[in-house]
Structure 1
Amino acid sequence: MKNSASYQKPDTLKSVWQIINTFIPYVGVWILLVYSLSVSLWLTAFLLIIAAGLLVRLFIIFHDCGHGSFFKSYKANRYIGMLFGILAFTPFDKWHSLHGKHHATVGNLDKRGDGDVWTMTKEEYLASSKKRRLYYRVYRNPVVMFGIGSLYVFLIQNRLTKEWMTQKQKNNVYVTNIALVMLFAGMSVAIGFFTYLILQLIILYLAGMAGLWLFYLQHQYEDVSWVRSDDWNYTKLALEGSSFVKFPKLLQWFSGNIGFHHIHHINARIPNYNLPKCYAENKIFREVKPVTFRSSLKTLRLRLWDEKLQKLIGFQDI
């Protein structure tokens, strides 16, 4: 296996090109969307899907910038990350603070709750009150998690500050919110209040569902491993607690190679465009069983971690 550090050096030309081939098409699709409303609603629907896909890709660039992997320059990572965070309705500092904790605790049963999908153990669930069980069941329902959750996270949760946040993180939330108000006002003047509102909500809803689905699959799948702190090892759990989601080439492009998530957790400083090469050149990464679209659908029934069986199970299994 090659040292993962050999893949983490950002290529400025590749980074700039990725911004060009994502941001410019996103703006272009928005322009086409406005004109398509007077041509065909079928065309509008198609363009909305493309716009949502491009927004997911913009979010991956935002994600890489937060890891400091997209550019060599700290300022370049921060400015591009904050700009794309505004487009994705996500404050840069708040999100990456939680995401950093997620990377430091992935697969650790004793440190759940920071930047991950809420997962109870079978024992915790059985010991909970009826009210808490019901709340957990509602939370883990796919319609709620992906249908309602996509708008809740990006429209409400990302707008709020928390007591644990630093003043810098709180200020970043305020700046992001102000920028979104200005964006809303400017677009309302340009194309109309209700036109912008409806188009933006649909794009955000579709992109949010896709993004949450991707995030869910990264650590909620049939062969995932979770352990207690005494048995936790960063490298081992990066490989065994993070998935390799095998996408067709087109979806791999729109998702910014995030399917190579086991490699990303080994070394978060690897830019997304270097992940396929790292996968191809290292046998250890190719030995990880891929999660396909068909097998991913089965994960929806997996809701609880059974510590005795060492696997995720469904409610029906208890």
Structure 2
Amino acid sequence: MAQDNVRESDDSLPEHSEGIRVGRELLAATKPYVEESTATSWWYVGSTFLLMIAALTGAGLIPWWPLRVAFSVLGSLLMVRAFITFHDYLHGAILRQSRVAWWLFHAYGAFTLTPTRSWRASHNYHHGHVGQIMSASVGAFPLITARMWQNATPWQRFSYRAQRHPLVVLLSYPIVFGLNVTILPLLRDPANHLDSLVALICHFGLIAILWLLGGFTVVFFVILLPMTLASAMGSYLFFAQHSFRRMQIASPEAWSYYRGAMESSSYMGMNRVMQWFTGNIGYHHIHHLNVRIPFYRLPEVMAAIPELQSPLTTSLAPGEIADCFRYALWDEGKQRMVTYSEASSGALP
């Protein structure tokens, strides 16, 4: 992928300094870990998809509603894990030579409103620009400076706050995946996004079939509830790992892929159960440093490379979640993230 090639040849990456590897040397230290075990990859992919299908089938067939809710929630968690395997496949980290995997993940992307063409384009852009100030939402949530906020019009402020509002994350199923990832690319460039049309047909076709077979209740427990929960969880993980209180933003002159990975991407602390369901995506600083490392090897990389063991962190604690939404602007003078009220009350530098 384009951003991988740029990262490996970027002359702006700092060199080895005082025994601590940074930049190209740190990236080189991760390269032995891009080697995947095909059998291991298939074990994780196969088991995840089978468990997900079993959980969603139970949500659709079991008559007792509390158990249906439990299976539906379990299905949503397994959808998050399945999405991480889909994400790794599109990065070329797992099963890149497998035609079976190609069909499996393209089908998964279609049924979950994640057509591969638009997702890959926007996500690659995100990897190439993480840690940069962007007023537009291209492959990521927008991030502007306190000065830009102070100079913004009321409409620009409303638009920025709306895009980063918790409700957008909560309603990611229709807004992020339905509208931004699927419908808008199709409307803007129909010829190059026919897979978005296929995704809409597959997703809503499945809803129609389930409705005919079991009515709204089956659709709710098999599609609507798990898609809402999985989309919200996935979007929050994506949002929080690049918009957290302790993150750093480098100036355009000082920015590099290394700094984007190590200073603008977090390590999200989770218990082992949540690490499993989220496919180790909490090791996000390592993933951004080298996207070709399979998700199941990320803990191994952190344990083996000392320079990756003291990352900027966040967590799923309620206070940390609130901070991720509150600290929404980068203050160039203070060199830290600030709240809207801090930016509004501060003087222009």
What TM-score results when the alignment is normalised by the length of structure 1? Answer: 0.91
Q: Which segments of structure 1 move beyond 6 Å, counting only runs of 4 or more? A: none
With over 3 angstroms needed to count, the CA separation of the structure-2 counterparts of 1:150 and 1:111, relative to structure 1, is: same
Distance, in Å, in 2 between the alignment partners of 1:278 and 1:75 is 28
Q: 2:160 aligns with which of 121, 126, 136?
A: 136
Q: 2:276 aligns with which of 249, 253, 260?
A: 253
With over 3 angstroms needed to count, the CA separation of the structure-2 counterparts of 1:158 and 1:236, relative to structure 1, is: closer
- Residue by residue, what CA displacement relative to the aligned partner does 1:135-190 show, whole Å, maximum 9, x if unpaired? 32333332x2222344322233333143765844x12212222222432343334x
Q: 2:110 aligns with which of 86, 89, 98?
A: 86
Distance, in Å, in 2 between the alignment partners of 1:51 and 1:186 is 19
1:112 deviates by: 6.0
Distance, in Å, in 2 between the alignment partners of 1:93 and 1:54 is 23
- Alignment check: 8 A CA contact 2:210 2:218 kept: yes
Residue 303 of structure 1 is matched in structure 2 by 328
Q: Spell out the pairing of 1:66-215 with structure 2 (5 A cutoff).
A: 66-73=90-97, 75-109=99-133, 113-142=137-166, 144-162=167-185, 167-168=191-192, 170-189=193-212, 191-199=213-221, 200-215=223-238
| Residue 315, structure 1, aligned to residue 340, structure 2 | yes
Greater shift after overlay, 176-185 or 222-231? 176-185
Corresponding letter in the other structure for 2:245:
E
- Residue by residue, what CA displacement relative to the aligned partner does 1:64-86 show, whole Å, maximum 9, x if unpaired? 11101111416455333212212
Distance, in Å, in 2 between the alignment partners of 1:147 and 1:280 is 33
Q: Which runs of 5+ in 2 are unaligned?
A: 1-25, 344-349
| Residue 15, structure 1, aligned to residue 41, structure 2 | yes
Distance, in Å, in 1 between the alignment partners of 2:56 and 2:101 is 25
Corresponding letter in the other structure for 1:121:
T
Distance, in Å, in 2 between the alignment partners of 1:223 and 1:246 is 14
- Alignment check: 8 A CA contact 1:59 1:88 kept: no
Residue 303 of structure 2 is matched in structure 1 by 280
Distance, in Å, in 1 between the alignment partners of 2:79 and 2:134 is 34
Corresponding letter in the other structure for 2:159:
Y
Task: Report SS of the residue matched to 2:245.
Answer: coil
Q: Which runs of 5+ in 1 are unaligned?
A: none
Task: Report SS of the residue matched to 1:10.
Answer: coil
Residue 62 of structure 1 is matched in structure 2 by 86
Residue 71 of structure 2 is matched in structure 1 by 47
Task: Report SS of the residue matched to 2:330.
Answer: strand
* Aligned residue-pair number: 313
Distance, in Å, in 1 between the alignment partners of 2:307 and 2:188 is 38
With over 3 angstroms needed to count, the CA separation of the structure-2 counterparts of 1:149 and 1:178, relative to structure 1, is: closer
1:48 deviates by: 1.6
1:132 deviates by: 2.1
Residue 271 of structure 1 is matched in structure 2 by 294
Task: Report SS of the residue matched to 1:3.
Answer: helix
- Alignment check: 8 A CA contact 1:57 1:256 kept: yes
Greater shift after overlay, 147-156 or 270-279? 147-156
- Alignment check: 8 A CA contact 1:188 1:194 kept: yes
Corresponding letter in the other structure for 2:202:
A
What TM-score results when the alignment is normalised by the length of structure 2? Answer: 0.83
